[in-house]
Structure 1
Amino acid sequence: MFEVLVYVYENYWQGDACPELHQLSRKLTAVGFEAEEIQAALVWLNGLNIAAQNTQIGLPAEADVAGKPVTATPASSGFQPQSAASLRVYSVAEQEHLGAQALGFVSFLESSGVLPPHMREIVMDRAMAAPGDPLALDDLKIIVLMVYWSFGEEPDALVLDELCDDADFRVAH
C-alpha cells in the first residue's frame, strides 16, 4: 500500500491534480501495481480525503480589509485552538499500533511546530487505519507527507528532508 501512496505523492504532488479514485485505480493498474495494493491504498486515500474535507468544512473564505479572500484558519472556523498547557494522551490502541518510535516522531514534529493539532489528529487517524503492528517509522513519514499533500501544503525544506531522508545512511559530523 505504501508504495502506491509514494507513487501518488510523487506523480500528483499537488493533491488537486490527482484524478478521481476510479480513474486513479486504472492508472495505477496500468503502471503495474497489484490489485490488492491499489484497493488498500484507495480505501486509505478515501479516508484521508474525508478527514481533510471534514477539517476544512466550515472554512469560509474571509475577506481582508481590501476585500480579497483570505483562507480561514482552523481557529477562526469553529476549531478550538489547542492551549499551550494541553496534553494529547494516546490511547493504549494507538500506543500499541504506532509504537514508541512513531509516537516519538509525532511528538517531535508537534513540538517543532510543524504539525498543528488538527493535522496531527488526521495523521493519527490515518496511521491507525494503516497496516503494521507496530507501524514502521518510514510508513508514518509517508502518512505525514500524505496529510500535508491532502491540505495542498508542502512542508518546509528541513521537515521535508527529515520525512524523506533515510536516517540509516546519515553520517554524523
Structure 2
Amino acid sequence: MMMDILMYLFEAYIYSDIELKVDQEALESELLQAGFHEKDIDKVLDWLGELAALQKSDAYSAILTSSETSARIYTDKEIQRINLESRGFLLFLEQIKVLTTETREMVIDRVMGLEASDFELEDLKWIVLMVLFNVPGNENSYILLEDLLCAKDKGLFH
C-alpha cells in the first residue's frame, strides 16, 4: 500500500504543475479523500521525511571516498527484499553514471524502509526516480533515467 501512495504522490505532484510545497495536513486530507488509510499515509509521510533526512545526514561520507572499483555487498536482509534483477538494475545505473554510490545507498535505504512484501523491479524504478528527484544536484541523472525508462517502454532500449 505504501508504494501505491508514493506513486500517487509522485504522479500528482511531480508530473503536474501543482505547487510542490503543500502542508502536511492538506496532504493528509487529500490522501484520505483519495481513499488511502490514515495508518498508511502516516507511514508514507515518515518514509518521505526519512528520505529528506538522508540528504542532510553525513552517514554516506565514507561511501564517497570508496574506490570506483569497489563492489557493493548486499546483506541477507537486502537480498531478500531486492531480487537479483533489481540488484543488476542498480549496478547498471551505477555503471552508466545515473546513480552515484551515495544515491545508490539512499535508494537501498528507502527500499529497505518500505513495508512491501512483493517488491519488484518496477517498484525499484519508482524509488530511484523519487530519490534522484529529491536529492539536489541529480537533475541530469533524473532526466536521463526518465528518458531511459520511456525509451524502454517504447521498445527503443534493449
TM-score range, shorter chain: 0.7 to 0.9
Contact 1:12 1:18 in 2 (8 A): no
Structure 1 partner of 2:10: 9
Cα deviations by residue, 1:27-70 (Å, 9 ceiling, x for unpaired): 22233333243223212112212112225x9xxxxxxxxxxxxx
Structure 1 residues 24, 87: CA separation in 2 closer, same or farther (over 3 Å shift)? same
Structure 1 partner of 2:147: 161
- Could you tell me how far 1:156 is from its partner in structure 2? 4.8
- Could you tell me how far 1:148 is from its partner in structure 2? 1.2
Question: How many correspondences in the alignment?
Answer: 152
- Could you tell me how far 1:172 is from its partner in structure 2? 7.8
Structure 2 partner of 1:71: none
Q: CA RMSD in A?
A: 3.1
Structure 1 residues 118, 158: CA separation in 2 closer, same or farther (over 3 Å shift)? closer
Moved more, 19-28 or 115-124: 19-28
Cα deviations by residue, 1:120-155 (Å, 9 ceiling, x for unpaired): 111000001113345211111111111112214433
Amino acid paired to 2:52: N
Amino acid paired to 1:35: E
Structure 1 partner of 2:81: 97
Amino acid paired to 2:146: L
Q: Mind listing any 5+ residue stretches in structure 1 that lack a counterpart? A: 58-73
Structure 1 residues 80, 161: CA separation in 2 closer, same or farther (over 3 Å shift)? closer
Structure 2 partner of 1:111: 95
Structure 1 partner of 2:30: 27
Amino acid paired to 2:9: V
Q: Over alpha carbons, which structure has the higher Rg? A: 1
Contact 2:63 2:101 in 1 (8 A): no
Normalising to structure 1: TM-score of the pair?
0.71
Q: Which has the higher helix share?
A: 2
**1:1-173 paired onto structure 2 within 5 Å:** 1-13=2-14, 17-55=20-58, 80-133=64-117, 135-152=119-136, 153-154=138-139, 155-163=141-149, 170=155
Q: Mind listing any 5+ residue stretches in structure 2 that lack a counterpart? A: none
Structure 1 residues 164, 131: CA separation in 2 closer, same or farther (over 3 Å shift)? farther
Structure 1 residues 136, 9: CA separation in 2 closer, same or farther (over 3 Å shift)? same
